A and B are shown apart, each in its own frame.
Chain A
Amino acid sequence: MTLPDGQEEEAQGDAGAAPETPPPAEAAAPTPKPAAERPARPAKEAEPKEAPRIPPPAGSINEILAAAVPGVAMLAYMVPTLQGEAVAVEVGRDDLVPVMTAARDDKRLDLKYLRCLSGVDWQDEGLEVVYHLSSFTTRHQLTVKTRVTYDDPVVPSLASLFPAANWHERETRDMFGIVFDGHPNLVPLLLPDDMTDHFPLRKDNPLQEIEEWQGENLREGAGEGEE
């Protein structure tokens, strides 16, 4: 699919935010950084694999959370949303249930709505479960993440706290093999009933050859419009 006429091709072939700058704070009018601010590139790829972590400003909800669960080790930073930014916290596996209980029950947070529960496979850094919470009354949004290792992929289940988590946890177990301890019915949901040892969304589960081929073609600029 060719771009409409009149579009210029970028010199370097890619634009978007330079790696050093944080994600834009406002949704309106972000400008692409001029090339001069970008540091010199070494021979191999220079793009860091991680977005920089911007700590949340004072008075954000992570402070309420830290106060509600004393002694919790929490890493807090900001992540972009379509409307601006929201707070994300990373907690350890054992602190997960107290943190989520506090998030739900504390009246200043009232984060009762579990929107989304995803798993992410970070390969060397382990498996991660990401929870997106939000509140209808206080309008807060919170992302909670927790990380486990491949050898011990057990995360406490939140199905009793948030009934919404029930099916999401089953799906995450199907796809990533993360065992949710305390889940009432952890049987395969999307995969066949007997497929309990094979976790498709893990990165060591390779893509089928055809997808690799399509991807390769596009990278070489050969095939066009493989949609």
Chain B
Amino acid sequence: MLLAAPSFGISQPAVRALLALIVITMVMTVAVAYATWYERKIIARIQQRLGPTRTGPFGLVQPIADMLKLLVKEDLRPADADPVAWELAVFGIFVPAFLAVVAVPFTADWLVSSLPLSLLYLLAVSGLSFIGFLMAGWGSNSKYALLGGMRAAAQLISYEIPLILAMIGVVMVTRSADVYSIILFQDRVPLIVWQPLGFLIFLTASIAELERQPFDIPTGESEVAGGVFIEFSGIRWSMFQLTSYVNMYVFSLLGAFVFLGGWEWPFGRDVGWGYQLLLTSAKMSLFIVFYLWARATFPRLRVDQLMSYAWKVLIPFALVQIFLNGLFIVYDPPYVDAFLLVSSGLGAAALVTLVYQSVRVKPRLPLQMFSNTVEARSVV
């Protein structure tokens, strides 16, 4: 099922695929550039300010202005940077992100290629980016970059695991590792109903994979000095930033397809591609708005808190989800849907409660208040 709808009358599949790739790449580039625009506007509104307003109407020309500025900036290269690692770090991060877009079905007929294991492909490819972070961190020959790179690698690897485990739960329920089939599975009910625990785990792990607040330690921390990217400027830095937004799109689309029903739910496949595209965009936008909102609101977690959260909380719960799925699939009790719903819902509630409890350290004494008119008897 290749790009059929706006087929320009071309019959060879290879040419059509190439055309699709070109269209998607261009669209993604523009979409990502304007992602910076609406991120700045939305976060600004949360922060009670306006965001870009002067460059063009509503600041719409701002991304173009930013791109122009970054293109003409001097390309500074640290003298002692490792030649191979430093030069190729950008590509190491940029390429996997765009590779992931290849397997994403935007509507029922619009996709570049249909892979039988597209979910696996997506997760595998997006997990390759940590190599780029390591290359950037090591190759920059700077202590802050090294720290940032190490933390980035640790974070990305740690949060891949709950992400994949949550997806395995989905695969078990839908009996397919193809995103297309998963979407088709959801023609009655989206998967978020059957796998709420998986959804929560996916949500948290995806923010960590995107390295956004509250998990933005590699790029924001190292004491707020830019972390891995401090030695990159100009066009290289812009490629890092854009990759972050491409990843955001990929994960939002993944979440929209896998958990929210994609373009299939609730209207099915028979409505035209316009409605399908609209549904996809709307569901994707829900995720994106959530990511932006979280960015503006949450402080940053410390590295050890981050790691312990992944390994001690998310992974056990993801395994619980898989276990529950397996139970119901093997024993196939009657009303399996209801059971799965209830058990997974309980699991989700347990996760939320556990998080709530665990970040509250032992109950604290409130502040003592002393009136100023009464001379204090004892001071200490």
Contact = CB atoms under 8 A, between A and B. Distances in A.
Contacts of B380: 136-137
Interface in A27-66: none
B353 interface: no
Nearest to B378: A137
Interface in B332-380: 378-380
A136 B380 CA distance: 8
The B interface, classified by DSSP as helix, strand, loop or mixed, is loop
B380 to A, nearest CB: 6
A224 B379 CA distance: 48
The 4 closest A-B pairs by CB, nearest first: A136-B379, A137-B379, A136-B380, A137-B380
Nearest to B377: A137
Interface in A108-125: none
Nearest to A138: B379
A137 B380 CA distance: 8
B377 to A, nearest CB: 10
Contacts, number: 5
A135 to B, nearest CB: 9
Interface of A: 136-137
B79 to A, nearest CB: 28
A136 B376 CA distance: 10
B308 to A, nearest CB: 34
5 contacts: A136-B379, A136-B380, A137-B378, A137-B379, A137-B380
Contacts of A136: 379-380
A129 B197 CA distance: 68
Interface in B295-353: none
Nearest to B375: A139
A222 to B, nearest CB: 47
A224 B304 CA distance: 61
Nearest to A112: B380
Nearest to B376: A136
B374 to A, nearest CB: 15
Contacts of B379: 136-137
Contacts of A137: 378-380
A79 B379 CA distance: 25
A197 B253 CA distance: 68
Nearest to A135: B379
Nearest to B380: A136
A134 to B, nearest CB: 11
A38 to B, nearest CB: 40
A136 B377 CA distance: 10
A163 to B, nearest CB: 17
A136 B379 CA distance: 6
A110 to B, nearest CB: 10
A137 B375 CA distance: 12
Nearest to A136: B379
B162 to A, nearest CB: 46
Contacts of B378: 137
A136 B375 CA distance: 12
B324 to A, nearest CB: 57
A163 B320 CA distance: 54
A101 to B, nearest CB: 20
B69 to A, nearest CB: 39
Interface in B79-126: none
A135 B170 CA distance: 67
